[in-house]
Chain A
Amino acid sequence: MNHKLKRAAVAAAVLFCSPCLPALSAEAPARTELAWTLHYDPKTLDPAKVDDQASEQIRFLTAGVLIRLNRSNLSYEPALAESWNVSTDGKLITLRLRPGLRFSDGSPLTSADVVATFRRVLSPATAAPVAEEFLDPGKVIVDAPDTATVRLHLPNRVVGIASVLDEIAIEPANRITSGAVTSGPFYVAEYKHGEYIRLHRNPFYWKRGNAGAALPYADDLRLDFLENTETEELRFLRGEYALLDHVPTEGFSTLARRMPGVTHDLGPSLNTEQMWFNQSDRAPLPAYEKVWFRDTTFRQAVSLALHRADIARIAYDGHATPANGFISPANTTWYNKALRPVAEDAQSALALLAAKGYRKQGNQLLDPAGHPVKFSILTNSGNRSRERMASIIQQDLAVIGMQVNVVTLDFPALIERLMHTQAYEAAILGLSNVQPDPSAMMNVWLSSSPNHQWNPEEKSPATPWEAEIDKQMRAQALASDTKVRKAAVDRVQSIVSEQLPFIYLVYPNTLCAVSPQLDGVQLSVLQPDVVSSIETMHWKGGRH
Chain B
Amino acid sequence: MRFSTLIFIGLLGALAAALLLGSSHTYAAQDREHVSDSGSRSYLAGTDELGRDRAVRTAAALLLGLTGACVASALASSLSLLLGSVAALSASWLGRLLLYCGDLFLTLPWIFLLMLVRSALPLTLPPVQSGVVTFLLLAALGAPSFLRLTHERVSRLDKQDWRLHAHAMGLKKSQSGSQLLSHLWPIFWIQFLLYVPACIIAEANLGTLGLGIAEPVPSWGNMVTGLQAAALTSTSHLVYLPVVTLVLVLVALELTIFGAKQ
Chain A interface residues (CB < 8 Å from chain B)? 230, 250-251, 253-254, 307, 310, 313-314, 374-376, 378, 381-382, 384, 387-388, 390-392, 394-395, 403, 405-410, 413, 423-425
Q: List 17 A-B contacts (CB under 8 A).
A: A230-B228, A250-B49, A250-B232, A251-B232, A253-B233, A254-B233, A314-B50, A374-B124, A381-B209, A381-B210, A387-B215, A394-B215, A394-B216, A395-B30, A405-B127, A407-B214, A410-B210
Task: Say whether B50 contacts A392, CB under 8 Å.
Answer: yes
Nearest chain A CB to B198 CB, angstrom units: 24
Which of these, B51, B210, B216, contacts A314 with CB under 8 Å? Answer: B51
Q: Closest 5 CB pairs between A and B?
A: A376-B123, A381-B210, A250-B229, A408-B210, A254-B232
Q: How far is the CA of A442 from the CA of B50 in the complex (A)?
A: 37
**Residue in B123, B125, B127 whose beta carbon sits within 8 Å of that of A378 in the complex:** B123
Q: How many A-B residue pairs have CB under 8 A?
A: 66
Tell me if B186 is interfacial: C-beta within 8 Å of chain A: no
- Bound Cα distance from A391 to B168, whole angstroms: 67
Q: CA A40 – CA B260 in complex, angstroms?
A: 47
Are A384 and B229 in touch, CB under 8 angstroms? yes
Nearest A residue (CB) for B52:
A391
A313 contacts across to B, CB distance below 8 A: 32
* Structural contact, B215 and A376, CB atoms closer than 8 A: no
Contact residues of B between 178 and 203, Cβ < 8 Å to A: none
- Which residues of chain A are near B255, meaning CB under 8 Å? none
Question: Once the chains are docked, how many angstroms separate the CA of A391 from the CA of B123?
Answer: 16
Q: Are B119 and A314 in contact (CB under 8 A)?
A: no
Chain B interface bracket (under 10, 10 to 19, 20 to 34, 35 or more): 20 to 34
In the complex the two chains form, is B119's CB within 8 Å of A413's CB? Answer: yes
Bound CA span A307–B32, Å: 11
Contact A425 B123 (CB under 8 A): yes
Q: Are A391 and B216 in contact (CB under 8 A)?
A: yes
Complex Cα spacing A144 to B209, Å: 54
Q: State whether A391 and B215 are in contact (beta carbons under 8 Å apart), knowing that A230-B228, A376-B124, A405-B124 are contacts in the complex.
A: yes
CB of A190 to closest CB in B, whole Å? 29
Is B126's beta carbon under 8 Å from chain A?
yes
User: In the complex, given contacts A378-B123, A394-B215, A406-B216, what are 12 additional A-B residue pairs having Cβ atoms less than 8 angstroms apart?
Assistant: A230-B229, A254-B233, A310-B32, A381-B210, A382-B210, A387-B215, A388-B49, A391-B216, A392-B32, A405-B125, A405-B126, A424-B123
Q: Is the CB of A375 within 8 A of B216?
A: no
Interface 1/0s, chain B 124-158, versus A by CB < 8 A?
11110000000000000000000000000000000
Report yes or no: B210 in contact with A409, Cβ–Cβ below 8 A.
yes
1/0 contact string of B66-97 vs chain A (CB within 8 Å): 00000000000000000000000000000000
Give Cα distance in the complex from A402 to B232, angstroms: 34
Q: A406 → chain B, closest Cβ, in Å?
A: 5
* B214: contacting residue among A253, A307, A405, A423, CB under 8 A: A405
CB neighbours of B127 from chain A (8 A): 405
Does B114 sit within 8 A of A, measured CB to CB?
no
**Contact flags (1/0) for B1-45 with A, using CB distance below 8 Å?**
000000000000000000000000000101010010000000000
Which chain A residues border B49 with CB–CB below 8 Å?
250, 314, 388
Q: How far is the CB of B104 from chain A (nearest CB, A)?
A: 27
A381 to B115, alpha carbons, bound, how many Å?
Answer: 14
A410 vs B208: C-alpha distance when bound (angstroms): 12
Chain B 214-257: CB-based contact to A (< 8 A → 1; otherwise 0): 11100000000000110011000000000000000000000000
- B210 → A minimal CB distance (Å): 4
Cα-based distance from A250 to B228 in the complex (angstroms):
10
> A394 vs B119: C-alpha distance in the bound complex, in angstroms?
21
| A388: chain B residues within 8 A (beta carbon) | 49-50
Contacts of A250 in B (CB 8 A): 49, 229, 232-233
Set of chain B residues within 8 Å of A384, measured between Cβ atoms? 229
The distance from the CB of A322 to the nearest CB of chain B, in whole angstroms, is 14
B209 CB contacts on chain A under 8 angstroms: 381
A301 to B215: give the CA distance in the assembly, Å.
23
Residues of chain A lying within 8 A (CB to CB) of residue B216: 391, 394-395, 406
With contact pairs A250-B233, A409-B210 given, residues A392 and B125 touching in the complex (Cβ less than 8 Å) = no
Once A230-B232, A250-B232, A254-B232 are accepted as A-B contacts, the answer to whether A375 and B50 lie under 8 Å apart by CB is no
Closest approach, in angstroms, between the C-beta of A238 and any C-beta of chain B? 15
Q: Give the one of A313, A376, A407, A408 with max B CB within 10 A.
A: A407
B228: chain A residues at CB < 8 Å are 230
A392 touches B232 (CB 8 A): no
**In the bound complex, CA of A367 to CA of B210 (Å):** 31
Cα–Cα, bound, A32→B232 (Å): 32
Check A407/B123 contact, CB under 8 A, given A388-B50, A392-B30, A395-B30: yes
Q: Which residues of the partner chain B approach A410 to less than 8 Å between Cβ atoms?
A: 210
- In the complex, the chain A residue whose C-beta lies closest to that of B123 is A376
Across the interface, name the chain B residue whose C-beta is closest to A248.
B229
| Alpha-carbon separation in the docked complex, A50 to B210 (Å) | 28
B219 to chain A, nearest CB (A): 14
Interface centre among A307, A314, A392 (most CB of B within 10 A): A314
Neighbouring A residues of B126 by C-beta, 8 Å: 403, 405
Q: Are A314 and B124 also in contact (CB < 8 A) when A253-B233, A409-B210 are?
A: no
Most chain A C-beta atoms within 10 Å of own C-beta, residue among B28, B127, B233:
B233
- Shortest CB-to-CB span from B33 to chain A, Å, is 10
Contact check, B233 vs A391: say whether CB atoms are below 8 A apart: no
CB distance from B119 to the nearest CB of A (A): 7
Contacts of B125 in A (CB 8 A): 405
